[in-house]
Amino acid sequence: MRLTSHVPGLDTIMGGGMVAGSSYIIQGRPGAGKTILANQIAFDQVRQGGKVLYITLLAESHDRLFQSLSTLSFFDPELVGKDITYLSLFRTLRVDGLSALVDVLRNELVRQDASMLILDGLLNARESSHNTLDVKTFVAELQGHAAFSGCTVLFLTSARIDDSSPEHTMVDGVLQLQEELFGSRTVRRMRIAKSRGSASLGGLHHYEINDAGVVVYPRLEALYARPSKLDLAPQERVSSGVDDLDARIGGGLPASSATIVVGPGGSGKTSFGLNFVRLATPEQPALHFGFYETPARLASKARALGIDIDALIASGALTVLWNPLTENVIDSLAYHLLDAVQARRINRLVIDGLAGFDRAAVDRHRLIEFLAALTNQLRSLEVSTVCAWETRELSAPEMNATSPEVLSLFDNVIGMQLDEVEGRICQGMKVIKLRDSAFTPTVTRLVIPNSLPDPFNESRRLVTDDPGQS
Classify 25 as helix, strand or coil.
Answer: strand
Q: How far, in Å, CA of 288 to CA of 277, rounded?
A: 8
Q: How far, in Å, CA of 175 to CA of 76, rounded?
A: 25
Superfamily of domain 2-218: P-loop containing nucleotide triphosphate hydrolases (3.40.50.300)
Give pLDDT, residue 230. 76
Per-residue model confidence as pLDDT tens digits over 222-247: 999 988 777 777 789 999 998 888 98
* pTM attached to this predicted model: 0.88
Per-residue model confidence as pLDDT tens digits over 304-326: 999 999 999 999 999 999 999 99
Please state which CATH number belongs to domain 237-469.
Answer: 3.40.50.300
Name the burial class of residue 91, with classes exposed (0-12), middle (13-18) and buried (19+) by CB atoms within 10 angstroms of its CB.
exposed
* Domain residue spans of the chain: 2-218, 237-469
Same CATH topology for 2-218 and 237-469: the answer is: yes
Per-residue model confidence as pLDDT tens digits over 171-182: 999 999 999 998
**Inter-helix orientation angle 98-112/132-148, to 10°:** 10
Mean pLDDT of successive 10-residue segments in the chain (470 residues)?
94 95 93 96 96 89 92 96 93 84 89 93 72 76 83 90 74 94 92 90 96 97 88 83 88 94 89 96 98 95 93 97 95 98 98 93 92 96 95 57 79 86 76 82 61 47 38
> What type of residue is 271?
S
Cβ atoms of residues 352 and 269 within 8 Å? yes
